[in-house]
Structure 1
Amino acid sequence: MKVKHVPAAPDDLAFVADAQRAVPLVPDSQDDCCARILERTDLVSRDEAATWLTFLRGLGLVERGPSGYSRVRRDPDPEFLREAFRDGVFGVDAVLDALRDTDEPLSAEATFERVRDAIPEWERHKNPTTWTDVWTETVGHELDWLVRLGLADRVDDGYVSAADS
C-alpha cells in the first residue's frame, strides 16, 4: 500500500516513534487511535491525527485489520524510515528523479511541475479545481521528509538530491 498524502515533516524524527507508540498494540477503532495520537503528541486536529495514522500504515508501522488499527512492533530508526518512505509513499521516486535530473535547486512548485504527469487522472477529477494546490503541498511535504531523512538537501529556496540518495 502506498499512501498519497503525507503529513508535514516533523522537526525531529523522534516524533514518528511518538506517534507510532500512541497507537495501541491491541487493535482499536480509527477514532480511538486518532484520539490517542492527539493526546500523546502536539497535533491539534483529528484530521492531522488521521493523516498520521494512515501515513504510519504506509510506512509499515501500523496495521489495519478487521478489528481496527494496531501498532507494529518495529523501531522506526532512520534507515528503516528512509526505505519505508520510498516504498510506502506515492510519488517519492518521481520526486527523487526530478531532483537528480537537474543541476539547480528546485522549489516545491517546480518539482511538482516535473512530476505532475505521474499524478493519477482520478486524483485530478476528484478535486478538479484544487488538485494542483493539494499535490503541490504534498510534493512540498515529500521534499521536507526527504531532507529530514537525508535523501535530499535544502539549498537556498529549493531542494537538491543528496549525494548518496
Structure 2
Amino acid sequence: MRYKIVPPVRDVAFLEAAQRALPLVPGTVEDCCLRIVDETAAPSRDAAREYLTFLQALELAEETPRGFRRRRVDADEAVLADAFERRVFGARELLDALRGAGSLTVDEAFDGMREHVPRWERDRHTDWEGEWRERTERLLGWSVAFGAATRDDGDRYRPIERS
C-alpha cells in the first residue's frame, strides 16, 4: 500500500518525537493526535493527523483494530528513506526522475510528476497543478531529510546514491 499524505517537511528529530508521543498500547486517532500536538511543534490536530499517517507510511507507527500504536523501531535515515520510497505515493517516481536527470529544480521535478498524477486527483482539485507542485516540493524536502537527496544553493536537488 502506498500513502498519499505528505505533510510539511520537518527533520528526523521531529518524526522521532512524534513517534515517541504515540502509545505502545493502541490509542484512538484523537488521543494519538493530541499526544503529537502536545509533544511536538505540530500546529493543530489536523496537522498531527497528517504526521500520524506519515508515521504509518514510514513504518514508525501502525494501525491496529484498537487504534494506532508506536512501533519499536529506530528512525534511522536509511530505513526511513527506504520506507519513504516504497510506501509514499510519488516518492519512487520522483527519486527515479532525480536519479535519471542527475539534478532537478522543483519545477522540473513537477513536470516529470505530471504523468503520474491520477485522473481522479486532477478532477478533485480546482488547482491540481498547484496542489501537486507543493506535493512535489514536499517530496523533495523529505528526500533531503532522509538523506536520499541534497539541495544546492541554486535550488537544484541531486540524488545521493546509497551503497
TM-score by length of 2: 0.92
Q: How does 1:45-84 map to 2 (within 5 A)?
A: 45-84=44-83
CA-based RMSD of the aligned residues comes to: 1.5
Partner of 1:97: 96
Partner of 1:119: 117
Is 1:145 the counterpart of 2:119? The answer is no
Aligned partner of 1:158 among 152, 156, 159: 156
TM-score by length of 1: 0.91
Shift of 1:37: 0.2
| Separation of aligned partners in 1, 2:127 and 2:64 | 32
Shift of 1:3: 1.3
Match for 1:106: what amino acid?
Answer: L
Unaligned 5+ runs, structure 1? none
Residues 38-67 of structure 1 deviation map (CA, whole Å, 9 limit, x = unaligned):
000011112210100000011111111221
Shift of 1:164: 3.8
Match for 1:36: what amino acid?
Answer: R
Shift of 1:118: 0.8
3-state SS of 2:101 partner: coil
Shift of 1:71: 1.0
Report the number of matched residues: 162
| Separation of aligned partners in 2, 1:28 and 1:86 | 27
| Separation of aligned partners in 2, 1:158 and 1:45 | 31
Shift of 1:111: 0.5
Partner of 2:4: 4
Shift of 1:150: 1.7
Match for 1:126: what amino acid?
Answer: R
3-state SS of 2:6 partner: coil
- 8 Å contact kept, 2:5–2:50: yes
3-state SS of 1:94 partner: helix
Residues 84-104 of structure 1 deviation map (CA, whole Å, 9 limit, x = unaligned):
11111111111112212225x
Unaligned 5+ runs, structure 2? none
Match for 1:50: what amino acid?
Answer: R
| Separation of aligned partners in 1, 2:55 and 2:106 | 23
3-state SS of 2:84 partner: helix
3-state SS of 1:63 partner: strand
Match for 1:2: what amino acid?
Answer: R
Q: Which runs of 4+ in 1 moved over 6 A?
A: none
Match for 1:162: what amino acid?
Answer: I
